[in-house]
Amino acid sequence: MSKIVPVITIDGPSGVGKGTISQLLARHLGWHFLDSGALYRLTALAARRQGIALEDEALVAPLAASLAVEFVPTADGEAKVLLDNQEVSNDIRTAQAGVDASVVAAHPTVRAALLQRQRDFAQPPGLIADGRDMGTTVFPNAAHKFFLLASAEVRAKRRYKQLIEKGLDANLGSLVEEIEQRDERDRTRSASPLRPADDAVSIDTSDKGIDAVFAEVLANCTDVV
Ligand code: DC
């Protein structure tokens, strides 16, 4: 009989700090890390590169099923992302790539095509899975489930600060609007909408720093940490 691999899921809307918390936890435990959003971002990028309309579910789903993707770990802990043997780590991180990902992610057959690929990340000694539907659909039997939240204004302000620190232009009002639109699309789609699993621990990160959120997550996982 195959051994059951423990999984911890961390879901929530965009810009809530899931990625940071998930990576900290993965490093702390020495477990694998699944950035499920990257798979939707890669699907959208592959579609754009092949001139396929993101709305064309019948053409985008086979692309999702056959994505030639590799996540190569680097010394700083960030994975280098390859699509068809070409590095696309920065291409999938743009604001447009996030919006594109949210569009292809609304197609049920795209989600179905990526399901097993996500489950395959569950390898010993364990997996931290970051996304929107990790606790509800992809890993319903996870050992621990978290749902992080913060208001759109708080998330937009964090994003604004990051962009300004990088010397990039930013407009707080448009960031709030972009975040609200993406939340709306992710929450209202028919297939695996963004929502906490019934057995998830919800953490409002609005008034908390990364350290406080991480401590709260650890305190809820004492059987594995
Ligand atoms: O987490 P992220 O910003 O990289 O995700 C980009 C988009 O991908 C997000 O707006 C919705 C979609 N997504 C999803 O539908 N399900 C997931 N498990 C992860 C991401």
Mutate to test the pocket of ligand 1, among 40, 155, 186, 194 (most ligand atoms within 8 A of CB): 40
Distance CA 120, CA 123 (A): 7
Using 50 as the pLDDT threshold, list the residues of the chain that sit under it: none
- Give me the residue spans of the domains in the chain: 7-217
Q: Is the CB of 32 under 6 A from ligand 1?
A: no
Q: Quick one: pLDDT at residue 94?
A: 87
Domain 7-217, what fold? Rossmann fold (3.40.50)
Pairing of strands 7-11, 69-73: unpaired
pTM given for the model: 0.94
Q: How far is the CA of 42 from the centre of ligand 1 (A)?
A: 11
Q: In testing the pocket of ligand 1, which one of 102, 184, 195 has its CB within 8 Å of the most ligand atoms? A: 102
36 lines ligand 1 (CB under 6 A): yes
Q: Write down the pLDDT at residue 2.
A: 57
